[in-house]
């Protein structure tokens, strides 16, 4: 009988996709997916270090295997950003861990597991690995509709709060021929939406085609038959070019949604964050994008309580939020991350209760904006790509508009993967509800179809 595995995933879309690749590698090596971690012969914990106290949380999670006798517990592997950051310290603190594989050595997982089993000794591999090629067709995709496709690994920007350049390594571009091959294969397998992934996805420059920048990549992906929608995460404001804005405007499969991380509304704080964009430059960029790309929805990431953030700085974050009226926001209280410049040089001097107060105020403002924006959709008809049963109610399904708003509607399993028109009847701050208008065939085209 085949040995079984389970992968537990924490963190961003990049990690979700890494887990899809890990699952594929293990299946190639003869493993079958287990129903749950409790039933598995091998448990892989794919970690994220963007979470606060990520290492401590990992050790707490690993503790559930600690007291099992060797023959009664599964093999345990730790992968991802915390594995890269902690390396051999993981097996020192948790000796029941069999394998530690960093972010750049993922493809070594099956061999490392074999070696750990054969020798009875833990295997640790956090070596840098420049190649970002991955054998086509290996990923076992978890989503039936959306295909994640990595285009860039790593980041060279070293924003002062961010651990990513230390855990994911320096920026490496994937060949465009390989990216297009993977997307064509996903389209042939029935995937309707592609999500291009990179830490600064819009910094893309093909290593195998000098004329292919990020806009050129969007143009090439747009030509692939069978793909109806193209999304990408995450662009950096300072790499938004006129060509990129033109591609958003002119290519109908490219969704009318831009996640544009700003992190703070204060130029002073942005400089301390080493973001290399100012409040003023960001606002004028947003104006240009909105002028060129009609109906585009914007979302962002925001940090409150960064070292040295004054009340006046925070008020600038609130005023920028009010001015832009984002459709979505991921907002966090600042907390230190290992190895970062902010941790080394900037005292974490905003008291915790003050950080909490600022976060509550920002989130209340943002929720109100989202409610107003979503209320304005009531009575309109939008086109959604249905992708999953609703998490809340039986008989309800969910999809997203081109602008990335979640829409729930009564339906059945046949709607998954189809572009459907939904008339909006009700709105909350985070999603919309409606009923099917007319089912539409899946043509190319990413507009919201707002009527």
Q: Which is nearer to ligand SF4, 16 or 159 (CB)?
A: 159
Minimum distance of ligand SF4 from residue 200's CB (angstroms):
5
* Smaller CB separation from ligand SF4, 74 or 165: 165
**Would you say 169 or 399 has its CB closer to ligand SF4?**
169
Q: Which of 200, 218, 270, 342 binds ligand SF4 (CB under 6 A)?
A: 200
Q: What's CA 147's distance to the chain center, in Å?
A: 12
Q: Least distance (Å) from ligand SF4 to the CB of residue 82?
A: 16
Q: By rule CB under 6 A, what count of residues binds ligand SF4?
A: 10
- Residue from the set 44, 81, 164, 212 that interacts with ligand SF4 by CB under 6 A: 164
Smallest Cα–Cα separation from 382: which of 363, 400, 394? Answer: 400
Write out the binding residues for ligand SF4, residues 104-163 only, by CB under 6 A.
155, 157-159, 162
Within residues 415-444, the interface with ligand SF4 by CB under 6 A covers: none
Q: Min. distance of Cβ 384 from ligand SF4 in angstroms? A: 29
- Could you tell me the smallest distance in angstroms from the CB atom of residue 206 to ligand SF4? 20
Give whichever of 198 and 449 is closer to ligand SF4, judged by the CB atom: 198
CA distance 381 to 279: 35
Query: Alpha carbon of 378 to those of 58, 294, 419: distances in Å?
Result: 43, 19, 19
3-state DSSP: the chain helix, strand, coil percent, rounded to 5?
Answer: 35, 25, 40
Beta-ladder partners of 149: 196
233 and 270 in contact (C-beta within 8 Å)?
Answer: no
Contact status: 240 vs ligand SF4 (CB under 6 A)? no
Q: Is 305 helix (H, G, I), strand (E, B) or coil?
A: coil
Identify whether the C-beta of residue 348 lies closer than 8 Å to the C-beta of residue 336.
yes
Helices (H), 251-384: 267-272, 279-292, 311-324, 341-345, 352-375
How many residues comprise the chain? 451
CA nearest 439: which of 428, 447, 417? Answer: 417
Among 4, 150, 199, 383, binds ligand SF4 (CB under 6 A): 199
Q: Distance between CA 95 and CA 70 in Å, rounded? A: 11
Supply the minimum distance, in Å, between the C-beta of residue 318 and ligand SF4.
21
The CB-of-282 to ligand SF4 minimum distance in angstroms stands at 14
165 sits near ligand SF4 (criterion: CB under 6 A): yes
Residue with tokens 């003023």: 280
Minimum Å distance from CB 199 to ligand SF4? 4
Residue closer to ligand SF4 by CB (options 275, 355) is: 275
Chain positions 49 to 68 lying near ligand SF4, rule: CB under 6 A, are: none
Residues that bind ligand SF4 (CB under 6 A): 155, 157-159, 162, 164-165, 199-200, 236
């Amino acid at each position: 009988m085949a040995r079984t595995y389970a992968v537990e995933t924490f963190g961003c879309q990049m990690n979700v996709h890494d887990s899809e690749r890990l699952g594929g590698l293990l299946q190639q090596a003869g493993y079958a997916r287990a129903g749950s971690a409790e039933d598995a012969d091998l448990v892989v914990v794919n970690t994220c270090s963007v979470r606060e106290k990520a290492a401590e949380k990992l050790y707490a999670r690993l503790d559930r295997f600690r007291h099992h006798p060797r023959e009664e517990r599964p093999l345990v592997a730790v992968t991802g950003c915390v594995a890269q950051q902690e390396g051999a310290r993981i097996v020192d603190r948790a000796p029941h861990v069999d394998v530690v594989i960093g972010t750049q050595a993922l493809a070594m997982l099956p061999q490392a597991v074999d070696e750990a089993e054969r020798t009875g000794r833990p295997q640790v591999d956090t070596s840098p690995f420049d190649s970002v090629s991955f054998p086509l067709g290996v990923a076992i995709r978890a989503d039936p509709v959306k295909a994640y496709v990595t285009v860039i690994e790593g980041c060279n920007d070293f924003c002062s709060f961010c651990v990513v350049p230390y855990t994911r390594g320096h920026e490496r571009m994937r060949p465009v021929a390989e990216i297009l091959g993977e997307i064509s294969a996903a389209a042939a397998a029935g995937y309707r939406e592609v999500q291009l992934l990179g830490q600064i996805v819009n910094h893309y420059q093909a290593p195998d085609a000098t004329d292919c920048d990020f806009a050129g990549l969007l143009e090439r992906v747009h030509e692939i038959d069978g793909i109806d929608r193209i999304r990408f995460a995450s662009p950096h404001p300072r790499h938004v070019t006129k060509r990129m804005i033109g591609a958003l405007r002119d290519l109908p499969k490219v969704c009318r949604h831009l996640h544009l991380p700003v992190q703070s509304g204060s130029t002073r704080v942005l400089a301390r964050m080493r973001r290399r964009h100012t409040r003023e430059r960001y606002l004028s960029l947003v104006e240009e994008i909105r002028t060129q790309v009609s109906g585009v929805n914007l979302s962002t990431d925001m940090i409150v309580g960064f070292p040295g953030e004054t009340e006046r700085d925070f008020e600038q974050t609130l005023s920028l939020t009010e001015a832009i009226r984002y459709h979505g926001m991921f907002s966090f209280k600042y907390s230190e991350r290992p190895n970062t410049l902010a941790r080394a040089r900037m005292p974490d001097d905003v008291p915790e209760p003050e950080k909490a107060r600022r976060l509550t105020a920002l989130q209340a403002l943002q929720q109100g904006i989202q409610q107003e924006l979503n209320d304005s959709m009531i009575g309109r008809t939008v086109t959604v790509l249905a992708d999953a049963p609703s998490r809340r109610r039986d008989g309800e399904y969910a999809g997203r508009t081109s602008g990335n708003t979640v829409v729930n509607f009564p339906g059945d399993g046949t709607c998954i993967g189809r572009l459907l028109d939904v008339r909006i009847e009700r709105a909350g701050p985070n999603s919309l509800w409606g009923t099917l208008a007319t089912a539409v065939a899946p043509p190319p085209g990413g507009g919201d179809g707002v009527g």
